[in-house]
Amino acid sequence: MRLASMLLAAALSAAMALPVAAQQDGLVLYGAGSLREAMTEMAAHFARERGIAVHTQFGASGRMRERIEAGDKVDVFTSADIGHARKLVAEGRASVMAMFARNDLCLLAPPTRAPADRGGVLQALLADDVRIGVSPAKIDPLGDYTVELFEVADKARPGSGKVLHDRSVVLDNPPGAPPARSGDYYLDALRDGRVDLAIVYCSGKARYAKLDAALVMVDFPPELAVGPQYGLAVMKA
């Protein structure tokens, strides 16, 4: 994440071209939920180095973008895809955007459902009576990447795309929803028996290991890779 850290620092530095009074209030960073741990650490480092506070909020990229469009005052926006950041530039709300990080998709599973290795991931998803936890498309880029994953899977194994779609259970965490009991709403769904498997970002491996050491995360094989790309936008004053 070194490059991402450098780009975030550059974006925050660019956002410092504000009136002195605004700088005294600190900078505001809105970010994708999957970036919470990394961006919080990077923002804290920037604040220590520059002496300017960075106030952060995280959530589904689509919802964070909508809040900016509704009038929230934000200096830097980081999204789990390129599209939301690009839209803010097209609307004239952001001055510049760039791709600043990449991720991968992983299968999150309890030990009894986990494949032995990534070669068995698709078969695990297609096993009888499996319910797959997914994020909502359009609102959360993870949901969009999952749709793309199902399309790629259908090409690798014709007919599997519809099966995967039909087995999907959308797991949403809208504003105002009660906090996840376990610290993660995917983990809540697995423990409650609402889903058997879930598709998540691989960057969450360390976090899930802390939440539940028994959970297994398996990478998707190269032939099913969809390559999430993260976008960063510097907002106009």
How confident is the model over 217-236, as pLDDT tens digits? Answer: 999 999 999 988 999 999 98
Q: Confidence class of residue 146 from pLDDT cuts 50, 70 and 90? A: very high
Instruction: Name the pTM for this structure.
Output: 0.86
* 15 has pLDDT over 80: no
The pLDDT, as a whole number, for residue 5 is: 54
pLDDT of res. 25 = 77
pLDDT digits (tens, 9 = 90+) for 82-141: 999 999 999 999 998 988 888 999 999 999 999 999 999 999 999 999 999 999 999 999
Residue 3: pLDDT band by 50, 70, 90 thresholds? very low
CA 126 to chain centre: 24
Q: Say whether both 92 and 118 belong to one domain.
A: no
For residues 85-123, b (16+ Cβ closer than 10 Å) or e, as one string? bbbbbeeebbeebeebbebebbbbbeeebbbeeeeebbe
- For 24, other C-beta atoms within 10 Å of its C-beta total 10
What would the mean pLDDT of 51-61 be, rounded to a whole number?
91
- Are both 117 and 206 inside the same structural domain? yes
The answer to whether residue 11 sits within a structural domain is yes
pLDDT at 4 over 60: no
Do 25 and 98 lie in a common domain?
A: yes
What average pLDDT score do residues 199-214 get? 94
Residue 93 lies in a domain: yes
DSSP secondary structure, 112-163, as one string: TT--SSGGGHHHHHHSTT--EEEPPTTTSHHHHHHHHHHHHHHHHSTTHHHH
Residue type, 99: M
Report residue 47's pLDDT band, with 50, 70 and 90 as the boundaries: confident
Specify the pLDDT at position 2.
45
Question: Which domain covers residue 142, as residue numbers?
Answer: 105-219
User: pLDDT category, 174, cuts 50, 70, 90?
Assistant: confident
Provide the CATH number for the domain around residue 154.
3.40.190.10
90 and 139 fall within a common domain: no
| Range in 17-21, 162-166, 212-216 the model is least confident about | 17-21
Instruction: Determine, yes or no, domain membership for 224.
Output: no
